[in-house]
Every structure is written in structure tokens, then in C-alpha cells.
Amino acid sequence: MGRVSTGLLGGAELPEPTAADEDWRYVACAPLAAATDAARTVPPAELRPWFGDDAAIVLVDGQARPPGPGDWPAGLAASISDLTGPTVGDPALGWPWRQGARQRLTVTRDPGRPLRLVCVATGGRSGGAVELELAPGVQADLAIVHVHLGAARAHTGGTIRLGRGARLRVSEIQATPVPGVLTTGWTAQVGQDAGLVWHLAATGGGLVRHRIDVDLAQTGSEFGLHAALAVRGTDQAHLVSRILHRHASPSRQLVKCLLDDAARTSFDGLIAMVPGADGSDADLQHRSLVRSPKARADSRPQLDIRADEVKAAHGATIGQLDPEEVRYLRMRGLDPAAAATLLGTAYLEEVLAAIPHAGVAAIARDRLKP
């Protein structure tokens, strides 16, 4: 299971990850050492489009922007506290950063509108963390929007705790290209009969890596992952998931990668079922559609099953466009490029159509347009 949920630590910086680390094995790490742009001040008007009408926490280069009037519904504002301290790092991720805002958000009643975390990076190295807790029975939607306005090295992550029967739907998207480095690391603990569904849409960049660790801690804790990575040029995008079933609990994961040019993607997913997880049912599916001979898609589905009465299924396929389908579309008047675009769009749509937040889904569709 590797390093399980440990939360955030203050203190010393941690060593840089390298491809020798088990969960970084598919990542080309050179961009970690590349120079970044100087961070700059972003006028508020430039940020507005990224958070729309949602109740937003905005982190700019790791610093929390104070909420503007109307950013938070009354009653919710009080539930935010700023825990920003000195340098922080996340040992679950093996990741250091230089500046770090840390926001805690405790949601005790249905927020009435989507929550949004906007992570803006203009340059330099930065990181920000959020500790989100949903009280028992609370239902919420959270959009996480990554915006890179320069060559920056940025990390966002934190902890999510769902009380009994709570439901959280997360839509995490990359809203811009990432000329530098973007990494995320979320550690979630899902309570009894609570559910976490995570939608992820990414286009990669110099280095983009997402990691999600989920502790299905109680009976009936549920997790779903729907991820689309559509990458072109020499960009890379990677996804790591670590799902721990402790009691009878279901998890479903569908990860779809679409690669062009010399792109690289990987999905490294582990389903662990410990003694006591009897009655659990896990399914993990990874598909890669590779449209160029120079692209490289890696897949590493893993099962670590130590309970008897469980179901665990995984599948990984790597394929090209179906020549029969391309031919049929051409014989209906689409040129080869249009046929490839239509098939790529259809391929991703299975994931994108499930994003519950329409505004965010529109950005994702636009960004991932094949």
C-alpha cells in the first residue's frame, strides 16, 4: 500500500521525487529541475472567469486570496480558517514546496452552491493545501480548477474527510496548458455509507501528475473515479490512485487516456483489500487510445487482496483507432483528420459526460478537444 494517509507536516523539505520512486516510475522528471518564470501579481479581474458564481477558495502561487464580498454564502464563510504556516510538505507525496497556504473548510450543512478551489500558478515554486471536512449527511460539489499563467512549479493537495452518509462530488480540471510542473495529492477518508466521486480531466504539460489516496474506512464507504487524460506534443500526464478497502465497500474506476504526437501518459492504480474487507467489490478499468507511433502509454493496475469474500476486477487496454470505424466515417464524407477527431471526442465523452458541474465540464471539453 506504500505511504498511506498521514496528513500534512510542517518542517523540513523532503527529497525530490525521481523515476526511481515506485510511484514515479513512468514520469520523466527532468522538468522538476527546469527554471521557472518569476511569480507576478495577478489582477482580480483576471481570476474572475475561473471561479464564476461558485463559492471559491483562490490560491495564487500558494497564497490564499482573501475572499471577496459574495464569494461565500453567509454561514459558510465562518467555516473557513486559514492555517497557513511556514514551509509545509506532504510526506505521503514525497513533495516539498516553498510557500504554502493551508485552508481548512468544514462544511456542516448543504452549501447550496458548488464549492470551488482555484489554484493559480504564475511562476516560481509554490504549493497550497486544503483540509476539507463534510459533516455527516452533508452533500456537496467541489470543483478544483488548475490555472497556469506561466512556467511555474505548483502543487496542490490536502485531506478530505467525509462523515457518515456524506456525499462529495469532485470535478478536477486543468483549465490551461501547464508549461511547468503541476502535481496534486489528495488523501481522502470516506466514512460509513459516505461516497466520494472524483472526475478528473487533464491535458498534461511539462510534468503533470495527480495522485489520489482513498481510505474506504467503513462499511458502505464508496469511491468512484472517472478520469480523462488527453495529451499531445511532448507533454506528459500521470495518474496514481491508491484505494484501500477496509470493510465491505465498493469502488469503481475508469481512466481513459488519449495520446497524440510524442505524448506520455500513465495510470498506476492499486486496489488494496485488507482482512475484514469481505463483501467489497472493486472494478478498475484503464483504456489508452494511442494515435501516434511516438506516443507512450503505460498502465499498472495492481490488486493486493487479503480478504476472502471479495470481488476485484481490473482491465487495461491499449489500442489505436479502429480502421473499420475510420473507413466507415471516410465513406460518409469525413476526411481522415475529421474522422480521428470525431472518434477521439466520442472516446473521451464517456468520461466528460459524467462531470456533474456543467461550467467545469465545458472548460474540460474545450481543453481536451481532440
Cβ(190)–Cβ(196) below 8 Å: yes
For another protein, the closer of residues 308 and 324 by Cβ is: 324
Q: How far is the CB of 342 from another protein (least distance, A)?
A: 6
Residue 328 neighbours by CB distance under 10 Å: 12
- In the complex with another protein, which residue's Cβ is closer, 22 or 350? 350
> To the nearest whole angstrom, how small is the minimum distance from the Cβ of residue 260 to another protein?
18
Q: How far is the CB of 333 from another protein (least distance, A)?
A: 4
Residue closer to another protein, measured from CB, 313 or 346: 346
Distance between CA atoms of residues 78 and 287, nearest Å: 43
8 Å CB contact between 74 and 162: no
- Stretch (H or E) spanning 53: none
Helix axes 336-352, 358-368, angle to 10 degrees: 150
As measured in angstroms, the least distance from the Cβ of 327 to another protein is 7
To another protein, the closest distance from the beta carbon of 317 in angstroms equals: 13
Q: Which residues make beta-bridge pairs with 181?
A: 153, 207
Phi then psi for 62, rounded to 5 degrees?
Answer: 85, 0
* CB 194 to another protein: min, Å: 32
* Closer Cβ to another protein, 40 or 327, answer by number: 327
Cell of 131: 483540509
Q: Which residue has the cell 507576478?
A: 40
Instruction: Tell me the C-alpha distance between 253 and 227, whole Å.
Output: 8
Q: What is the DSSP secondary-structure string of 347-360? A: HHHHHHTT-S-HHH
C-alpha cell at 46: 483576471
Between residues 135 and 254, which has the closer beta carbon with respect to another protein? 254
Q: How far is the CB of 34 from another protein (least distance, A)?
A: 37
What sign for the dihedral angle of Cα 252, 247, 244, 364? positive
List contacts with another protein (CB under 8 A): 324-325, 327-336, 338, 342-343, 346-347, 349-350
